[in-house]
Chain A
Amino acid sequence: MSVIAYIPNQEGIIKKAGFELASFAAALAEKMGLQAKAVVLGPMADEEMKKLGQYGIAKVMHDANESFGLLDNRATAKALATAAAEASVVVLAHNNEGKGVAPRLALRLQAGYVSAISGLPSSVEPFVVNKVVFTGKAIGHASINTDKKVVTLSFNSFGLHEKAVDATIEAFNSGCSASDFALSVQQTQKVTGKVLLSEAEIVVSGGRGMKSPDNWGAIEELANLLGAATACSRPVSDEGWRPHGEHVGQTGKIIAPNLYFAFGISGAIQHLGGVSGSKVIVAVNKDPEAPIFEAADYGIVGDALKVLPEFIEAVKELKKSH
């Protein structure tokens, strides 16, 4: 019996979310007295997969079929079900692929499923995990009553935990052939040279209080200096000031970075739903009564356009003194 982590394969590379899943699977396996394994689908070099050993994964099952790059959720679920035939728990990333595959896998394994869990189970028997519900307004204690369990893990909720073991790589045949892949990809647009919002540890975000898309230069400069991603409130993307992919909140992306800057964002309940999991929130708003200050850890009642250049200078100074 084992705990299996399905590691996102980002063009042959394992990113932080993958190592976090490995760390989580290893910790959960230890708690349950089981072995921690990982599954990688699609082409990846052995030395890349070996890195999972640093986070406690003893065995990596690998099917190198490049069709998995199509992100055909039905085929991926089939492959994972083969790999997880004897698993107790399978954990996937809470990204679009994970959200699309995990429920399908749960049905194949006749397993109960809980998405976006925020850490190890509070109890193993019965199996109870915590997850955010009502988009950040409450925490639910979800109890799975089947033998097998499938979960997705919220990014940045567990963190990286090193525990070096030697990972063995084992080729496995997932049983997927050409006829299992129904989707065809016509075109791909990649965003390059930017920190991805879904992976960022620091996020710099702007709202309607930024006044005009022309004022985003300062947000981008601060983000660049901090290695951060940029984000925005919904009206900002609705107005076309910023791309839709940057919209965070209830109906946009739900993020939980270590640090979230909100410039000129009022902090409507629907906005907070998407960012309240952030570890530290900094708010700059002209209005002392703005609800964002109830969610913020640090705040300035003032003009975002005046404060941004000060923040930029302060960060530059900090970097110099390093």
Chain B
Amino acid sequence: MKVLILIGNVPDTNTKVKFNADRTAFDTAGVQWIINPWDELALTRALEVKEAQAGAIESITVANVGRVETEATLRKALAIGADKAFRIDADPADAYTVAAQLAPHCKEYDIIFAGVEASDYNGNAVGPMLAELLDIPSIAGVSGFNVENGKAVFTREIDGGSQTVTAPVPVMAIVQKGIAKEPRIPAMRGIMMARTKPLQVIPPQAVDARMKYAGFDLPPAKAACKKFTEEQARELIHALRDEAKAL
């Protein structure tokens, strides 16, 4: 089976979010970029399966739509263990443009993994959109993946429980937490090898975005926390009922 993992390039989760003066764009000055957390977990799980079962996974490719700055993130995915990478040289203007840029280059893969969202714009869109463009089934809320007797088996989270699901390939898995325990960290040997692994740059097509951000705001400042002592614990509960009307 050939596996493709979509790799989002997102600000480090500790980033203090700032915008430009008229608050129309995210200020990237000084931002550290990382692999979108769910994408990193999907890559980790695919590698675990590839290593545990000889022949179950033939190759792992990672892909990103972005400009040259995102190559460091793709190289990190190669250092973690992916076999090859491609980058489509376009601005990821919205989820639709990302999916549309990717679609012509994703036809050869059996399983495509996409994160449930990117931790920057929290769009929840690229994976299912790409699946629709490819006309393949997609499974949402995937928290487990294995290959059993040559067949892909997924665990997915549903309202109030979980299920084991199979699907014919090609199939798209929309990944959430749980698929792997901890993301794998690149080892020195992996970093050395990543330098020579193939990273293909593909020219973009013309695609129009379907949504955009007109502006941003920081969340309104919270009023100061009302402090109680340990001895006043019961009074706090009363305040929740009488003052906050939350009970």
Contacts and interface: CB of A to CB of B under 8 A. Distances in A.
Contacts of A238: 181-182
A204 to B, nearest CB: 12
Contact of A318 (B165, B228, B247): B247
Nearest to A149: B211
Contacts of A71: 140, 156, 158
A145 B233 contact: no
A274 to B, nearest CB: 11
Contacts of A73: 128, 131, 137-140
A189 B162 contact: yes
Contact of B119 (A8, A250, A313): A250
Contact of A8 (B16, B125, B159): B159
Contacts of B229: 300-302
Contacts of B135: 74
Given A103-B95, A113-B125, A135-B122, A186 B165 contact: yes
A103 B132 contact: yes
Given A108-B132, A283-B225, A299-B228, A140 B216 contact: yes
A10 interface: yes
20 contacts: A74-B132, A96-B140, A96-B158, A96-B176, A131-B122, A134-B120, A138-B19, A145-B210, A182-B137, A183-B165, A199-B159, A238-B181, A258-B246, A276-B219, A282-B240, A297-B223, A298-B226, A300-B233, A303-B230, A310-B230
A74 B138 contact: yes
Interface residues of A, number: 97
Interface stretch (B48-56, B72-80, B166-174, B198-206): B166-174
Interface in A85-141: 94-97, 99-104, 106-108, 111-116, 126, 128, 131-141
B158 A182 contact: no
Interface of A is mostly: mixed
Given A73-B131, A134-B120, A191-B160, 10 more contacts: A73-B137, A100-B139, A101-B128, A107-B96, A107-B99, A107-B132, A137-B17, A187-B164, A244-B177, A295-B222
B140 A99 contact: yes
B139 A183 contact: yes
A202 B247 CA distance: 9
Interface in B228-242: 228-230, 232-234, 236-241
Contacts, number: 283
Contacts of A202: 246-247
A299 B225 contact: yes
A142 interface: yes
A301 B136 CA distance: 53
Contact of B163 (A132, A187, A318): A187
A131 B95 CA distance: 15
Contacts of B153: 186
Interface in B15-39: 15-17, 19, 26, 37-38
Given A72-B137, A99-B124, A189-B161, A138 B247 contact: no
A6 interface: no
Interface of B is mostly: mixed
B124 A116 contact: yes
Given A103-B95, A191-B160, A128 B214 contact: yes
B210 A144 contact: yes
Contacts of A37: none
A97 B230 contact: no
A128 B232 CA distance: 45
A160 B149 CA distance: 48
A294 B131 CA distance: 41
B123 interface: yes
B63 to A, nearest CB: 18
Nearest to A196: B160
B189 interface: no
A132 B174 CA distance: 20
Contacts of B122: 115-116, 131-135
Pairs of residues from A and B, 7 with the lowest C-beta to C-beta distance, nearest first = A100-B140, A96-B141, A310-B233, A302-B230, A314-B237, A112-B210, A103-B128
A318 B247 CA distance: 10
B129 A103 contact: yes
B213 to A, nearest CB: 5
Interface centre among A71, A137, A202, A226 (most CB of B within 10 A): A137
Contacts of B132: 74, 77, 103-104, 107-108
B212 A145 contact: yes
A299 B226 contact: yes
Contacts of A297: 222-223, 225-226, 244
B4 interface: no
